[in-house]
């Protein structure tokens, strides 16, 4: 069985100029916008007391994003916030003036008209963009990579978007969508992958993701846990991971939790960059085949990478079995613990934590992470069963790898 690979962060630090993007003020602006949606409600924080005791930890908490806006995933937080920032700029208003009521009003249609929002996705981001565009009276065009499942395609199409599955990987879909946006009147690329010359919209997306972290930290305080000692967060391009890490660094300063960034082994560009350790960004190419479809991204977000290199403690590269085990553990909890229906890209943190705490193979990693009976661990289950057929194949039938599903 393939092993978890890990490396302590020794990447040379930069001036940390991107950290301000995830300041408390910026995140609160995004959260106020999300709260203006009639579909908004805080997603639950699952406190797994029995599991914490079983693993020899003080607390294990999982932010369950399967309840977000009825879309079964957190991604809509980013796409919707990028849209409102773009629209606000065009109508020369502050984002605070552009709540849901205004964005769906005849006045906005008269002032702004209609844009076409382009994006590439494995499923969740595209569905979020399509949903937000539909709700706000805009248009969306979504490109999906080779191997995307029909259920995720159908969910996007149901929101009224024009959606296609391309015969290329995710990173190439990004390039195609960007080219299409450039060639379309009122076309706008809404992608959480940042590159030189394309950072404003990805920064807005990351700020939108901040709503999730802000809610989680408030919920931890409300139940008397307070600051987590450890945060495990998964990464595709690194926008989510950079957003979570940036928020934590701004909120807790020098007392920031130990953060571990987890990737699918088939697409571990951040781990490879940390392993190189010289400050260069490493790309992973090929088909990027993994059950963790939402993490199958081989080219890091430059904004997220800058935040992570300055603040993250460890990077880990995880085989598919890690996520599969996490899905089963969350789906069949110990008596008294709440159930979390967590999809392939949402459960890797749980599988990683269990392996580190229970498998002697990872004793050195456990010591390095300083995980013990005083540790309070926070994780983010970023999606539910967004592909029900695959979910059942893994949780019910015991499948472990992409080729088995």
| Residues present in the chain in total | 405
The candidate with the shortest Cα–Cα distance to 281, out of 256, 315, 258, is 315
CA distance 397 to 400: 9
Structure tokens at 144: 């999906």
Catalytic residue among 64, 122, 192, 387: 122
CA distance 43 to 213: 11
Q: Which helix (H) or strand (E) holds 379?
A: strand 376-381
Active site residue 122: yes
H and E: helices and strands count for the chain: 16, 11
Active site residue 254: no
CA distance 53 to 66: 25
How is residue 377 annotated by DSSP?
E
Strands 59-64 and 45-47: antiparallel
Distances (CA, A) of 146 to 80, 143, 153, 156, 165: 25, 10, 12, 16, 6
CB 307 within 8 A of CB 246: yes
CA distance 120 to 191: 7
How many of the other CB atoms lie within 10 Å of CB of 17? Answer: 11
Catalytic residue among 29, 63, 75, 399: 75
- The string of DSSP letters for 127-180 reads HHHHHHHHHTT-EEEEEE-TT--HHHHHHHHTTT-EEEE-SS-HHHHHHHHHHH
Distances (CA, A) of 263 to 157, 268, 345: 28, 5, 9
Distances (CA, A) of 201 to 29, 77, 155: 15, 13, 24
Active site residues: 75, 122
């Amino acid at each position: 069985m393939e092993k978890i690979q890990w490396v302590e962060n020794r990447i040379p630090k930069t001036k940390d100029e991107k950290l301000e993007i995830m300041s408390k003020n910026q995140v609160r602006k995004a959260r106020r916008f999300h709260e203006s949606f009639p579909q908004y409600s805080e997603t639950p924080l699952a406190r797994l007391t029995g599991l914490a005791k079983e693993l020899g930890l003080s607390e294990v908490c999982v932010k369950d994003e399967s309840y977000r806006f009825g879309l079964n995933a957190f991604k809509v937080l980013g796409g919707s916030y990028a849209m409102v920032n773009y629209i606000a700029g065009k109508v020369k208003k502050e984002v605070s003036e552009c709540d849901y009521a205004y964005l769906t009003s005849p006045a906005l249609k008269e002032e702004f008209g209609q844009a076409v929002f382009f994006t590439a996705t494995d499923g969740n981001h595209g569905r979020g963009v399509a949903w937000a565009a539909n709700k706000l009276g805009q248009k969306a065009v979504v490109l999906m990579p080779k191997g995307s499942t029909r259920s995720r395609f159908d969910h996007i199409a149901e929101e009224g978007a024009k959606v296609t599955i391309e015969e290329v990987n995710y990173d190439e879909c990004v390039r195609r969508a960007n080219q299409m946006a450039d060639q379309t009147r009122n076309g706008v690329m809404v992608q959480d992958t940042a590159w030189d010359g394309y950072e404003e919209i990805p920064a807005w997306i990351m700020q939108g993701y901040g709503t999730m972290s802000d809610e989680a930290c408030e919920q931890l305080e409300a139940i008397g846990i307070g600051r987590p000692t450890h945060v495990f967060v998964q990464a595709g391009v690194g926008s989510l991971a950079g957003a979570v890490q940036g928020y934590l660094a701004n909120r807790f300063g020098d007392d920031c939790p130990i953060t571990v960034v987890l990737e699918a082994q088939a697409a571990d560009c951040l781990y490879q960059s940390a392993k190189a350790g010289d400050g260069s960004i490493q790309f992973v190419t090929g088909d990027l085949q993994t059950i963790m479809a939402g993490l199958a991204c081989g080219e890091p977000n430059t904004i997220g990478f800058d935040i992570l290199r300055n603040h993250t403690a460890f990077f880990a590269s995880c085989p598919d079995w890690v996520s599969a085990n996490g899905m089963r553990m969350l789906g069949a909890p110990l008596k008294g613990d709440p159930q979390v229906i967590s999809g392939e890209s949402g459960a890797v943190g749980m599988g990683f934590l269990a392996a580190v705490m229970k498998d002697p193979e990872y004793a050195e990693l456990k010591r390095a992470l300083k995980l013990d009976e005083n540790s309070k661990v926070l994780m983010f289950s970023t999606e539910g069963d967004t592909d029900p057929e695959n979910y059942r194949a893994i949780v019910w039938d015991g499948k472990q790898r992409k080729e088995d599903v």
